[in-house]
Amino acid sequence: MTNPTPPRLGPATLDRLPAAIRRPGYDRARLTPGILHLGVGAFHRCHQAEYTDDALEAAFGPWGILGVNLRAPDLSASLGAQGGYYCRELREGEQVERRLIGSMVETISVPGANDASHAATLERALAAASRASIGVVTLTVTEKGYCHIPATGELDLDHPDIRHDIANPSAPSSVPGFVLRMMARRLGAGTPLPALISCDNVPDNGSTLRRSVLGLARAIDPALGDRLAREACFLNTMVDRIVPATRPEDIDGFASQTGVLDMGLVVGEPFLMWVIENRFGGPMPAWEKAGALFVDDVAPYEILKMRVVNGIQSNLCQLGVLSGLEFMSDVMADGIFRAFARRTIEREVMPNLPAVHGIDVPAYLTETIKRLTNPALKHRTLQISTDGSQKIKQRLLEPLRAALRAGTPCDGLLIGIAGWMQYASGRDSSGRKLPVDEPFAQRTLAIGEASGGDAATLVGKMLEIDGIFGFDLSADAAIKARLSDAVARLMQRPARLVVRDFLASEAG
């Protein structure tokens, strides 16, 4: 006998959820949108949206979320069909804690440009974003959504979406284009400008968004660019919670344990942190009552988080892919990789970190390793490896540069960077083809083909991609040689053995 399909989560079925699941502690019926969020993926639902639920419980106000997706996924079949309701599930080992989130009150998904309803839906999203009731705009659009050149942080004027938006400013296809259009409409209508809060793991995320939006404005209408430079408020933030992409197994498990089908389910870890630059004069949700930290300078928090948490992820995810390990927790469960993660941070990264008020860095590292080892988080090594070209600067290359300046060791970082090069070339040491999902894939795969298994050629050509590496590293013969040596070792032997020998050589 097959089980009947469980009822779908939504306003009419909330009472079917087990009583133990925490509900919004505010009057959801009175909630109206005041936050526009661009890029409603799993991370937003398990981070800013939960902070917003807590903030609404602590101090109710007009701060519901209007979620807009300019790219996949289409939200209409998931959150749209559930009245915006979904559950977030926190997992640690065997423990599971579930909560119903109510802050998402409206969603708009703009279909692709070839879809008949594209223009009308984009216009609806722009009109909604320009409403005076929207006081805050948050973004999680992934690193590449900023259309910047990773090495410089400047807008890439050759990016196809940016070229499109320069030619068609009123029907933007990029995120900077959407934000610019919304801001221009608000200025035109005399509507106050919202705070723009980037929540992506991009270096100086608010400043990067500012450079992209102003760079685009200056290419379209320099006077508008000047005005926004004076009046718009772009806030830097540091965001932290590990939230892997939701898997069908997660949704099935939730349905069988609760009796309700939630197509908007997200699964994350208990750890949660948000640091926001304290510079906006207008009203905001009471996120500080929900534990968000408002500070004058986010940079030290951001550098710590990106070099330790994301640094370990990006140092090891490609080595994990090369080793056939599916999840980050599988990599971290291996004592050799775990020791490598700790050793690289302790010896190569920590000596060059800024002091961070209130944070004990060795304890933070120990906690980070525990988080990344949490076996209940099914965070795919391939997911973290995706768009590596947009990630490695802040996670691996900046720590490398800091180590080179200070004369501290850096061979562990070089193995991680070599791992990225080997992975991005499209094949592992046994010649097995690897899926490379990456804006620079065409170039890195061509380099892989052309280098014919010669590590020095591969490294030389990879370092010449100045959009990722800038110009300093390719001009450094010693670094080139050390990286070539690391890549050669990864070409010849399993990554785990390369790491084991490295640890042994360092211990001696």
DSSP assignment of 344-360 equals: HIIIIIGGGPPP-TT--
Give whichever of 307 and 343 is closer to ligand CS2, judged by the CB atom. Answer: 307
Q: How far is the CB of 143 from ligand CS2 (least distance, A)?
A: 8
- Per the DSSP assignment, residues forming a β-bridge with 98 are 89
- Per the DSSP assignment, residues forming a β-bridge with 92 are 95
Strand ranges (E), 51-188:
64-69, 86-92, 95-101, 104-109, 136-139
Q: How far is the CB of 308 from ligand CS2 (least distance, A)?
A: 11
Length of the chain: 508
Q: Which of 282, 323, 332, 338 is nearest to 495 (CA)?
A: 323
List 384, 396, 455, 462, residue binding ligand CS2 (CB under 6 A): 384
Q: How far is the CB of 327 from ligand CS2 (least distance, A)?
A: 12
Q: How far is the CB of 309 from ligand CS2 (least distance, A)?
A: 6
Give whichever of 242 and 267 is closer to ligand CS2, judged by the CB atom. Answer: 242
What 3-state class would DSSP assign to 46?
helix
User: Which string of b and e fits 259-280 if b means at least 16 CB within 10 Å?
Assistant: ebbbbbbbbbbebbebbbbeeb
Q: How far is the CB of 390 from ligand CS2 (least distance, A)?
A: 9
Q: Is the dihedral of CA 452, 453, 458, 460 positive or negative?
A: negative
What is the spatial distance between Cα 178 and Cα 174, in angstroms, rounded to a whole number?
6
Is position 139 an interface residue for ligand CS2 (rule: CB under 6 A)?
A: no
Residue ranges in 28-174 assigned as alpha helix (H): 42-46, 48-58, 118-129, 160-167
* Site map (CB under 6 A) of ligand CS2, residues 345-374, x = contact: ------------------------------
Instruction: Answer yes or no: are the C-beta atoms of 124 and 131 closer than 8 Å.
Output: no
> Rule CB under 6 A: which of 388-417 touch ligand CS2?
391
Is position 309 an interface residue for ligand CS2 (rule: CB under 6 A)?
A: yes
Is position 313 an interface residue for ligand CS2 (rule: CB under 6 A)?
A: yes
Q: How far is the CB of 488 from ligand CS2 (least distance, A)?
A: 27
Is position 205 an interface residue for ligand CS2 (rule: CB under 6 A)?
A: no
User: Which stretch, 71-79, 120-128, 309-317, 492-500, contacts ligand CS2 (CB under 6 A)?
Assistant: 309-317
Q: How far is the CB of 242 from ligand CS2 (least distance, A)?
A: 4
List 156, 240, 277, 348, residue binding ligand CS2 (CB under 6 A): 240
Is position 241 an interface residue for ligand CS2 (rule: CB under 6 A)?
A: yes
Strands lying side by side in the sheet with 237-240: 237-240, 273-277, 293-295
| Interacting residues with ligand CS2 (CB under 6 A) | 201, 240-242, 309-310, 313, 383-384, 391
